[in-house]
Structure 1
């Protein structure tokens, strides 16, 4: 019985807090609620209660705690409720993106209007078309702006009604299709067809009848537009005519932009806004384009019609205006108005008159409009106005150049003389030649002539010399430096910077040597100067072409015994010392006692001398493996490139050979027979060494390498008495591409020997230790095809028949 009582107590306790949890807002006692025992559906019901009361769990905290729930249990409840809110938000995120496409910072939304713009290249020249073709331009109303007080409400709008103060209430209330809104506990209020300002007063009065604190002023009411309705309009005559659903805040320009503007023949200046079957407004887009006047950009209403009629007259402006194109003209407008539409003449326009091409009933005619007629001439439909460039000439220009301080163009005044233009150029330079100046003058027939002036007399006040100038005259003042030849001297030989240098009066040899950086260390004391011979008469008895002067110079201090004065075009040669050679080296490596670099001590330094200076050969040296590697010099490659091999144009043999020497071989190999040198120091193997030679002495290797077209590239131990074929057979013989009769051997000292043959006998070279046998590939041969055999057979058959016929 006791157990049954306990179970009943637990059941009623659980049932009681579950009921409390399900009606969280209305329950007066929440002390028994245990959040851990609440199911997910219980938490969902609590969230629904909070949402219906427009409250968050944080805002409900004071009320819940006042009804007996502990702070610890509320913290658990808050965590579970917020977790569900996050999950719900993530699930609804995609749906909110679709339903709320134009959400702004203010919270106001409206239906997104999408219109793909296509650039109209056909009508691109029509003034105003760029306003509607440019996809980056947008005339959409900004929903962040304050709601206009004269905005007329209608079905589809949504109002945000808030009561704040002692009593609080907040709700987003849509305007129904009947034009009414429904406020909880207040009832229905009709708002359609009235301005938002009037609707606000009406709503406040209705709420005040229910909320006493609103009547007393303890609470305040605010009404704002949270969602904007969509209205339908019709556009006729646009590039994309039709019915459009747009924002109720939209204006005429917004609608025109959606329709792509006027059509091909549509008017830009007489667009009609029709409301209730009457023309409500005539729209002239030029007022906006030219003056920025938006008085025509009125708001639209449900069922408005925008009618774009065809244009009445258009004219074309070409040439030197800031905005050439096709313009629409109204009746009574003048050429000056057209010029204003085109933003006026540009900087290079000829403004004295404008040429206009007009159309008559049968043909074209040309008319000139003078500047005085701009404000009176009335353009006709189809007129083409051509504004040309000004002439590339000057009415008052004059030029001075040469030996004056400020050569330039100057303005010309009637009566100007030579002295006046020189004064404007701030006078003559010190090097000016005053005996003569030149004036190039443009004659009346546009040919030119030269007028000579004596500057000295002109500047002295002689009116005959100080002649009067004319427009476009070009005055040239000569310089005495222009008449002097540019003198040079040349220095070559043992100086740091040989070359050609300018000549100056009183230039000496010491000056020139210092200018070129001094002498090199190899300079001798001998100097030779070659000087040109000048004479007005030919002396056949004197065969000399130049005069030679020999001097001595002290190389230590770059000075000579006598400071020799140079003359124009002298050629100076500083001779090299008779004996002046820097130490040059060779390299020895391999099986010697002291490998490394050695200086060539004399001009006839031989292999034997260097080997002995390196301590001689070691015990592991291969006496038959000594060779010299000599670098290929650039001049050798140049000699090959200079040889004419009489090859075809597309034959690259010479270039390939030069490239191989330069990039692959880089050196030549000279075999050395050390045994013969030890017996006879005068043997030809004891060659004289050159700078940068490298002597290599290989270490004794008792093996023979076999490479090339053989079955196995390998190294076979050397066996005394075994011949060439033994080593080839030891690696499996030659393969199917091997050319055995052309096999050759490379000895350790770089020498090579090939296989020889006589009649049916073949002789193979002797094999030595550390040598290498190479079997090359057979050259590719083209096999005779079946068709070629058939052709050969036909030829033979024909020859046989011919022979038989001849001997019958």
Structure 2
């Protein structure tokens, strides 16, 4: 018993090792134990998936498999089994898609017919070619439709015969090559050449002889077409002529679509369907294209031939038709038929006559077809019909404009006069100038002339004044407002909305003040009005250019007792009162007792006064760190921008402009508080302006070192230590640092630079809360070897000249 258990354990361990190896054949170290015969389909699926994930094939992994111990025999077996597995998998996929296709056809099957469409660029203008070039169009028979009752059975068809009721029977029976169907227990029944309806009756009668319940009516018989046969036809003269295997339900248009339609010179109107060596039907595709008539689209039969002969007549239609192109004409068809094929004239076509370019045996000739000939003219092969546009002119247009209620274009009739046109335009406006109207007339030679009309006389019934109009006349009725000059008045000074305003008759100063929004609170009682001088005589002794009118008003009232009447082009100026200044403020912040905003109480308010009003300095204030930040005005920035700094690059210029506009919002004024306390008249005790900010820094014992140094840092202030000490304390300058141009910024905004004299360099003193800045060296271009050689040559030449001169 123990031996049996031991053997079973070894056996399962052996199988497990195969399974593990099969799952990871590419990663296994020892493949000598692999036995391909024991691998299942799941194992093969995993190996195939592993190969696919690594983007390799079984042939590519052969060296690796052999190097890991797999024998050549086992490898060959694995290769064969993987190929068989892949083939079976593809076949299963095809079978599945076929089943899905069968399912979509409701059980009725038909061999798929494919044909690669070739776009015909040569015949693209031929009417009807798009029917066969468009790949989205398809004339394939619908397998879901009911079987036509006149469908004729033949070898290759398959019938679904079912008996249901008391007795049941169901089978798919093919029609044999002899044209018979074999039904179990019933025998063979000949159905070839019979319609599906007749064959159904014959099969029911034969089954009724065997199934008694069918005879008694207890069971029913159903016969349907489940498999449709394929027939062979021939197409001659198409773009892709040849033999085609198509559905037995296919029609002529289906076959023509497969062949790409008629060829380059093929006819679209005289296609022959030949059956049993006789012309069975003449097909005219235009009947379908123009009328939608499918009477020519008959069902095809085995060995049918579709012959597409060459066309007999083709003509071209160009220009203003709805469907220009090349059209095929039959004998006896007129231009009216051709126009119908082209869907008629479009809305811009000239329809009175059509120009035709005809071809004779030797040359071209031109012929005009009048509208009365459209139903009788017979187009000839090669004719080119050109339909032109109507003229851009009007046969009965007339226009009135100006001071009438409805200025517009109107229809012209013979005998129309000026008064008639004014009546149609709803009459004259109130501002119409009735003494004169203008008529611009187009003469027969297309030049224009002007005529004048007395409207008062014309409207009162004077026929001599009421001129008779002609086509394309333009009547202009003037307005009295057109003759008036556009007068203006100007008001400036202490009003809400100063500017230029329209002058109106009898306009007064009160009217104008109210129109501009009234006086401001700073308006004084003084008003000055400048008025132009008009005179026909030049007086050189009078130096005045204008007339000045000065008077006083009540400043706090828009309605003046003395209502001054204005004249055109007057300039009114409301003066400002002598003393009118709104409170303005400055800001103080930092180490003061009461920081905040303070109003400038005096016209010459100084720094000392505001600091004292703010409670004085606190104990932590840095006396050396006081400064004023004064806002830079826009006009100052514009002046700086306008200065030509002669910079070499636009980039530097743009950077400077950007800094002026966005960064430099304040200018700094250093303050020496100790000097101010000792002497109130010291220059540091500056007068403040509105918007100034006084900053009082808090005492800080550190010294900041920034710029091109190894470490940007803040070093504690040490009394007696100089400029170089703090630079060395941060590691010195870096490779780009310009030490001799280093500078210091003191807490109050004042700055000092390093000075040089001969070989001596003096550095500025360092104070607490200062900032040392080391700038960057400017870029310099090093001289090339050639330039050094050139300089050496020049120096050598100079030396030779000097030696020669002193000999």
Q: 1:241-390 residue pairs with structure 2 within 5 A?
A: 241-390=241-390
Q: Which residue of 1 aligns with 2:412?
A: 412
Q: Which residue of 1 aligns with 2:536?
A: 536
Q: Which residue of 1 aligns with 2:742?
A: 743
- Whether contact under 8 Å (1:710, 1:731) holds in the other structure is yes
Give the deviation of 1:120 after TM superposition.
3.0
CA distance in 2 between counterparts of 1:743 and 1:678 reads 33
Q: 1:474-493 residue pairs with structure 2 within 5 A?
A: 474-493=474-493
Q: Which residue of 1 aligns with 2:683?
A: 684
392-401 or 164-173, which deviates more: 164-173
Give the deviation of 1:228 after TM superposition.
3.2
Q: Which residue of 1 aligns with 2:66?
A: none
Q: Which residue of 1 aligns with 2:575?
A: 575
The alignment covers a number of residue pairs equal to 719
Distance 1:102 1:356, change over 3 A: farther
CA distance in 2 between counterparts of 1:712 and 1:522 reads 59
- Whether contact under 8 Å (1:641, 1:654) holds in the other structure is no
Distance 1:505 1:200, change over 3 A: same
Q: 1:79-98 residue pairs with structure 2 within 5 A?
A: 95-98=95-98
476-485 or 103-112, which deviates more: 103-112
CA distance in 1 between counterparts of 2:179 and 2:523 reads 114
Deviation per CA, 1:381-404: give whole Å up to 9, x if none.
Answer: 111111122222223222222222
Distance 1:354 1:239, change over 3 A: same
Is 1:716 the counterpart of 2:715? The answer is yes
CA distance in 2 between counterparts of 1:742 and 1:412 reads 92
Give the deviation of 1:767 after TM superposition.
0.9
Distance 1:184 1:581, change over 3 A: farther
- Whether contact under 8 Å (1:489, 1:503) holds in the other structure is yes
Deviation per CA, 1:24-64: give whole Å up to 9, x if none.
Answer: xxxxxxxxxxxxxxxxxxxxxxxxxxxxxxxxxxxxxxxxx
Residue aligned with 1:659, SS: helix
Q: Which residue of 2 aligns with 1:428?
A: 428
Q: Which residue of 2 aligns with 1:125?
A: 125
CA distance in 2 between counterparts of 1:551 and 1:216 reads 131
Deviation per CA, 1:269-312: give whole Å up to 9, x if none.
Answer: 11122223332221111111122211111112233222222222
CA distance in 2 between counterparts of 1:512 and 1:169 reads 110
Give the deviation of 1:232 after TM superposition.
3.0
TM-score by length of 1: 0.83
CA distance in 2 between counterparts of 1:522 and 1:169 reads 115
467-476 or 651-660, which deviates more: 651-660
Q: Which residue of 2 aligns with 1:234?
A: 234
Q: Which residue of 1 aligns with 2:617?
A: 617
Q: Which residue of 1 aligns with 2:4?
A: none
Q: Which residue of 1 aligns with 2:67?
A: none
682-691 or 568-577, which deviates more: 568-577
173-182 or 301-310, which deviates more: 173-182
616-625 or 503-512, which deviates more: 503-512
- Whether contact under 8 Å (1:119, 1:133) holds in the other structure is yes
Deviation per CA, 1:750-787: give whole Å up to 9, x if none.
Answer: 11111112222211111111111122222222222333
Give the deviation of 1:634 after TM superposition.
0.8
Give the deviation of 1:94 after TM superposition.
6.2
Distance 1:644 1:805, change over 3 A: closer
165-174 or 356-365, which deviates more: 165-174
Residue aligned with 1:542, SS: coil
Q: Which residue of 1 aligns with 2:55?
A: none
Residue aligned with 2:289, SS: helix
TM-score by length of 2: 0.83
CA distance in 2 between counterparts of 1:462 and 1:568 reads 41
Residue aligned with 2:572, SS: strand
CA distance in 1 between counterparts of 2:281 and 2:706 reads 102
Residue aligned with 2:612, SS: helix
**5+ long unaligned stretches in structure 2:** 1-89
Residue aligned with 2:511, SS: helix
Q: 1:98-109 residue pairs with structure 2 within 5 A?
A: 98-101=98-101, 103-104=103-104, 106-109=106-109
Distance 1:209 1:699, change over 3 A: farther
CA distance in 2 between counterparts of 1:503 and 1:343 reads 64
Distance 1:579 1:178, change over 3 A: farther
Q: Which residue of 2 aligns with 1:157?
A: 157
Residue aligned with 2:101, SS: coil
**5+ long unaligned stretches in structure 1:** 1-89
CA distance in 2 between counterparts of 1:525 and 1:329 reads 98
CA distance in 1 between counterparts of 2:512 and 2:175 reads 104
Distance 1:800 1:199, change over 3 A: farther
CA distance in 2 between counterparts of 1:231 and 1:799 reads 109
CA distance in 2 between counterparts of 1:245 and 1:572 reads 101
- Whether contact under 8 Å (1:102, 1:111) holds in the other structure is no
Residue aligned with 1:122, SS: coil
Deviation per CA, 1:510-548: give whole Å up to 9, x if none.
Answer: 222222233333333333322222233333343332233
Distance 1:509 1:183, change over 3 A: farther
Q: Which residue of 1 aligns with 2:777?
A: 778
CA distance in 1 between counterparts of 2:167 and 2:691 reads 107
Give the deviation of 1:110 after TM superposition.
3.3
CA distance in 1 between counterparts of 2:734 and 2:129 reads 83
CA distance in 2 between counterparts of 1:139 and 1:489 reads 83
CA distance in 2 between counterparts of 1:696 and 1:121 reads 85
- Whether contact under 8 Å (1:273, 1:304) holds in the other structure is yes
Give the deviation of 1:181 after TM superposition.
4.1
Residue aligned with 1:215, SS: helix
- Whether contact under 8 Å (1:641, 1:655) holds in the other structure is no
